[in-house]
Amino acid sequence: AQSVTQLDSQVPVFEEAPVELRCNYSSSVSVYLFWYVQYPNQGLQLLLKYLSGSTLVKGINGFEAEFNKSQTSFHLRKPSVHISDTAEYFCAVSEGAQKLVFGQGTRLTINP
Amino acid sequence: EAGVAQSPRYKIIEKRQSVAFWCNPISGHATLYWYQQILGQGPKLLIQFQNNGVVDDSQLPKDRFSAERLKGVDSTLKIQPAKLEDSAVYLCASRLMGDVSEAFFGQGTRLTVV
């Protein structure tokens, strides 16, 4: 069965600084990987996804992630964060069109 | 395109009472999920439907939780009787059948059991 580990529960950064949110997964088969963002009192919104092809995936709001099969990782990055990026970020894995399994989440806090 | 609709947005009940949540997925999405998100945790799958059939309900506490998806469209999740530990946000999501791409989420129902 697949599982997801988000290595940091909270990440504080200063505005305009770069950020990396770490995600590792385990699965016995090929997987599809996702990053979702959750703003307060909102549902989950897709940031980006890796299905196949290029291992560097670009998403919305300037975020990107790199799929590393050998390290079973899918870390999320942004070169310069903004106050509006303050939110909870969830990494998720899916085997085929089945259920999404989520990590515990990383709370990103941007300080001015 | 209309998104996934959920109601109510908020609900407060006393323990041992019953409660029901409603979800209307995106039109044409055959796959529907109910997730439970406890504060400070990631969403946990409760049940997955494909049209009106259950695909996965391995983590649904069947002694108190039930869900149905009549006619393969709207879905209802019920808790009876509720416990304090059921306090959480209940998220509904939908996806095109066989689609490995994005699942679309509703805004969720925040349940507080007192």
Question: pLDDT of B70-90, one tens digit each?
Answer: 888 999 999 999 999 999 999
* Total count of residues recorded for chain A: 112
Average pLDDT over residues B91-100: 86
A52 class by beta-carbon count within 10 Å (0-12 exposed, 13-18 middle, 19+ buried): exposed
Residues with Cβ within 8 Å of B74's Cβ and at least 6 positions away in sequence, in order, are: B22, B23, B24, B25
Residues of B (70-99) whose Cβ lies below 8 Å from A = 91, 93, 95, 97-99
State the residue for tokens 């001015």.
Answer: A112
Residues with Cβ within 8 Å of B63's Cβ and at least 6 positions away in sequence, in order, are: none
Question: Does B51 or B6 have the greater pLDDT score?
Answer: B6
Task: Judge: A99–B106 Cβ closer than 8 Å, yes or no.
Answer: no
Chain A / chain B CB contacts < 8 angstroms: 60
pLDDT one-digit tens code per residue, A22-69: 999 997 777 899 999 999 888 899 999 998 888 999 999 999 999 999
CB B27 within 8 A of CB B96: no
Task: Judge: B102–A90 Cβ closer than 8 Å, yes or no.
Answer: no
Helices (H), A18-103: none
CB B105 within 8 A of CB A42: no
Band the pLDDT of B1: cuts 50, 70, 90.
low
Say what the pLDDT of residue B108 is.
94
Residue B10, chain A, CB below 8 Å: the answer is: no
Angle at B96 between CA A34 and CA B70, to 5 degrees: 125
A2 class by beta-carbon count within 10 Å (0-12 exposed, 13-18 middle, 19+ buried): middle
Measure the CA–CA gap between A9 and A20, rounded to whole angstroms.
Answer: 12
Task: Judge: A43–B106 Cβ closer than 8 Å, yes or no.
Answer: yes
State the residue for tokens 């305009």.
Answer: A16
Q: Residue B107: which of A43, A51, A98 has the nearest Cβ?
A: A43
